Chains A and B, each alone.
Chain A
Amino acid sequence: MSSPFQKQETKMVPVPSHSIVPERDVDKAPILECRHLGIDFGGLHAVSDLNLAIGRTEIAGLIGPNGAGKTTVFNLLTKVYQPTRGTILLDGMDTAGKTTVQINKMGIARTFQNIRLFSNLSVEDNVKIGLHNQEVYSTASGILRLPSFWKKEKEAHERALELLSIFDMQDMADMKAGSLPYGAQRRLEIVRALATNPSLLLLDEPAAGMNPSETAELMENIVKIRDTFQIAILLIEHDMNLVMNICEGICVLNFGQVIAKGTAAEIQANPAVIEAYLGKKKEG
């Protein structure tokens, strides 16, 4: 808490990244703002001096070569790692010292690069676990089967089916999550994250392992989720077709540092990005 970096923060250095917030969100405060965010693992600066702002209803992309620190950024945002330096503002509130659970309640939900569903629970129960943090907690009414319990249970059941219907998965509600096909498991992870009622959804490689038609469907769904829930989405993805088509702002990481920020067209034309992905052009 007493690090010198906190003192710096009081100066409120202007963040250059505002330029990538889509126009409709510019007049509103960004949902997420990272200022000089960084983390060290031993001597390695896994992420350093990350400045990022995401608009209220923006779909933003975080790309970069393998090992660039993209998932580390997600882990920082969800407080799986506590940052070594810098500030994360969620809806204008400093998240310093918050726990993972508190962050989830404050409005960040995520999916995982390698699927981490509760595979022995039913599809519906997976979604209901996501719904938990919005319900008033009462074990007693659950055990005693009080009328209020049945009412809540019915509401949760309906809400779960409604969320599953985004991906046309309501028929799978009673199946074991672990027995679903791969693509459906990825979609269920998104539904489970949405169930926690986030204002910012973090998707870690949502299209990994999907075929082109599944990816196309996923792209439609990501846009649909943004439009329906009016939330911001930050995604990590290697599928450039997906990123370039649906992301309004793109941030490129390499070796833990932001090397470029901008729209799809700007990123594609950026020499630093091309170099990071393809290597240096031979001189002459």
Chain B
Amino acid sequence: MAAVKQTVEQVKALESYEHGFVSDIESEFAPKGLSADIVRFISAKKDEPQWMLDWRLEAYERWRSLDEPHWAEVQFPPIDYQDSYYYAAPKTKDGPASLDEVDPDLLAVYAKLGIPLKEQEVLAGVVGAPRYAVDAVFDSVSVVTTFKKELAEVGVIFCSMSEAIREHPDLVRKYLGTVVPTSDNYYACLNAAVFSDGSFVYVPPGVRCPMELSTYFRINAENSGQFERTLIIADKAAYVSYLEGCTAPMRDENQLHAAVVELVLLDDAEIKYSTVQNWYPGDPVTGKGGIYNFVTKRADCRGDRSKVSWTQVETGSAITWKYPSCVLRGEGSSGEFYSIAVTNGRQQADTGTKMIHLGANTKSRIVSKGISAGHSSNTYRGLVSAHPKAIGSRNFTQCDSLLIGKGCAANTIPYVEARNGQSIFEHEATTTRLSEDQLFYARQRGLSQEEAVALLVNGFVREVLQELPMEFAVEAQKLVAISLEGSVG
């Protein structure tokens, strides 16, 4: 109930896209365009070892032989890959060692976004309040990671990918690209060649990570893409909960965000991965600008009884193309996917998941809530497959679409492949329109139009919001309400 109230107040207090500001941060760029030299430039900038450069160059060559995919239910003009910067970084010396060395202007940006980067600020809160360690990625580089020391005491490594390549090369070499190989798809391949930074997490055997980890992505520079790469390894019986948030300024041109996230789970490990994605969605009327969010996320449940859950709240981006997936390899492993995808204005989303059952007695659960408003298009695309060896595997899929107004579209495209006779797959789907009757009913009781929409939409997505860490659930609810502002009447 408190959350409803909060939603309502936030809706009133905020403008439709509050993160649309541009910060004047002095940056350094690689020359525009993409070539083997640019790949070398990025690698050199980061002081990378030869093996890393070789890996990138191989990916680059591979990428040149691939074609941009066009099977998704989204439309966009051809992307000129030579007309973008592949490296943009706020000017500092080497990576900042401590907060004191971070550019105050940069800290101000995060303060404006409401991201706590100062550990003492986080600590100053109520005793017992949950704490979050944050890795802040600004354009192409990680600017600061908090609580590293405290995490290191229990053996958890949480740092930027660049640092991991330098400091923990064995772990990186062992796992990088093993979940999403460079050749996996066009955008993942591009990412492998030019990825600039991202977060790295390693949780050692038997350790329960003592706090939520989060990465906050911010695109600021003009004409630049963001290609971060995240790798999270939960060793045997380890547990970690991780959250990522994303925003970008309002700009008239489209910017490409092609990230790769790899999760590795060994025996009895558990990872909860939550995303609150609020990239700039473009102009609601003309559709001009906005982020192309072409992202590859995959979890590999290598270990027996390992458990992964993806929770995503997607409200931003001009185009979203993303299918966080679970490869259920370990016996008795399980994967979950909870998704809220909101599209409004001229946004297009083609999103869903893949549950690939390889091991025996693996379980998966999909709950997808798509909300389309304005002139947007929202597609759920999902694959559930069972290998001949995945005896006794189970899936439950619930896929609901809510339409608001008359100009939007919702599609549901489920693929189901069972290659053994002993798997049980269930699929339920509904499509409903937010009815004028329901709205009138709520308004007759005293709720304003906006409050009524927020309440009804919250009811629709409640099942998924419950999966998010509490603080983020409130944030997400707020976002959903804001994204739908003015969508009725």
Report if A and B associate in a common complex.
Answer: no
